[in-house]
Amino acid sequence: MIYVIYGEDDFSKTEFLEELRQQIGSPELFEANTTVLNGPGLSSRHLQAVCSAVPFLAERRLVVVDGLLAQFDGGRAGGRDGRASGAKGALEEWQQAPATLAQTPPSTILVFLEGALRRDNVLLRGLASVAQLRAFPLLGGAALEEWTRQRIASKGATASPQAVRRLMELVGGNLWVMSNEIEKLALYSGGEAPIDDEAVGLLVAYARETNIFRVVDSILQGRSAIAMRSMAGLRQGGADASYVLTMLARQLRLILLAQELQAQRVPGPEMGSRLGLTADFAVRQVDEQARRHPYEQVAAMYRRLLETDLAIKRGELGEDLALEALVAELSAGSRRRERPPSRGVSR
């Protein structure tokens, strides 16, 4: 059997590949019957020879070709980077390969493993007649919600609709992270009671990050009371002053970086990738904060935060007092910035 598995969802591709590996038989024979080939530079003749080998003491053998089709994405010899050296001949060679690959023995599972591919990929169209094409795009919306529910059920647990929505909001489409968080929540619930919104807020690592967003957003808007409550919630949840200051500094740094990316007109999805953010809510929050507040305000907050960190480390202020003073001072500064100018007669 021949498969082409492609797309940006590396988690699902890895799981599907593992399902195919299970067809080999005993786990002790996986290594002896698995061959991974690098696509660039691979000849069709060499691949045919590898596929013709007989399994070693097993029912099946797995041959994985990594990154072959990407060279011909968009129908261009040379791939996305435009390098054409030798690629034209490779394209001509591989265009003739599907007919030969159709003769792959039943004992060989041949997999072409790819990232995102364009629909007009020359080799993808050619392999469609002899291979099963499995696309794994990044999940979102209803598809991500369905995946999340199924994953929770596979762990022997259930979850309320509110908990599922909260989990999606916090984690987004990163299925590696989502899978780990679901594992923790399923163990916590023990399968006896449905996972609820409170459990998600308690256990999911991103929940604290959400509170950091609230603290920063409230400070930037001059809403000191809300910022104080959010800060108190973090402290009561076990977050020490060092963690709070580190996360506040990280959030302010992300806002400053986002402002630079906005000036370069970088689109939202790419902005998240450049900032290292995977959760959709995190990208949206940083983008909105960067648009609403001037660079000078955020930079001044960042410098004041560093001064507070030094004061705590030198023993000049206690942790709780230092954090409260910081929130009060920064919030007051934000209110002064937003106060409309006086209409009195200028002198």
Distance between CA 252 and CA 298 in Å, rounded?
6
Length of the chain: 347
Supply the pLDDT for residue 80: 44
Distance between CA 15 and CA 27 in Å, rounded?
16
Supply the pLDDT for residue 82: 42
Q: How far is CA 193 from CA 36, 146, 149, 327, in A?
A: 44, 20, 15, 39
Three-state SS annotation for 292-319: HCCHHHHHHHHHHHHHHHHHHHCCCCCH
For the domain spanning 141-203, the CATH number is: 1.10.8
Distance between CA 257 and CA 251 in Å, rounded?
10
What order of strands is seen across the sheet that includes strand 34-38? Answer: 34-38, 61-66, 108-113, 2-6, 132-135
Tokens of 45: 């003749």
Pairing between strand 2-6 and 61-66? unpaired
Q: Which residues contact 130 (CB under 8 A, 6 or more apart)?
A: 2, 98, 99, 101, 102
SS3 helix, strand, coil % of the chain, rounded to 5? Answer: 60, 10, 30
Q: Where in the chain is the domain with CATH 1.20.272.10?
A: 206-338
Burial of residue 106 (number of CB atoms within 10 Å: 0-12, 13-18, 19+): exposed
Q: Which CATH architecture has domain 2-135?
A: 3-Layer(aba) Sandwich (3.40)
To the question of pTM greater than 0.85 for the whole model, the response is no
Q: Which pairs from 160-166 meet CB under 8 Å and 24+ separation?
A: 160/194, 160/195, 160/196, 160/197, 162/196, 162/197, 163/194, 163/195, 163/196, 163/197, 163/199, 163/200, 166/197, 166/200, 166/201
Q: Which residues contact 42 (CB under 8 A, 6 or more apart)?
A: 65, 68
Supply the pLDDT for residue 237: 59
Distance between CA 152 and CA 185 in Å, rounded?
9
Tokens of 253: 């740094």
One pLDDT digit (tens) per residue for the chain, 347 residues: 999 999 989 999 999 999 999 999 888 889 999 999 998 889 988 999 999 999 999 989 999 999 999 888 764 444 444 444 455 667 778 888 888 888 899 999 999 999 989 888 888 988 998 999 999 998 888 999 999 999 999 999 999 999 998 888 777 777 888 898 899 899 988 877 899 988 887 787 666 666 677 777 788 778 888 888 777 767 765 667 777 788 788 888 899 999 999 999 888 778 888 888 766 777 887 888 888 888 888 888 888 888 888 888 888 888 888 888 888 888 887 766 654 433 333 33
CATH class of 206-338: mainly alpha
Distance between CA 158 and CA 311 in Å, rounded?
47
Q: How far is CA 194 from CA 130, 141, 280, in A?
A: 45, 22, 25
Supply the pLDDT for residue 62: 95
Q: Where in the chain is the domain with CATH 3.40.50.300?
A: 2-135
* Residue keyed to tokens 């104080």: 228
DSSP state of 75: G
Tokens of 49: 């020879």
For the chain, helix (H) and strand (E) counts, in that order, are: 16, 5
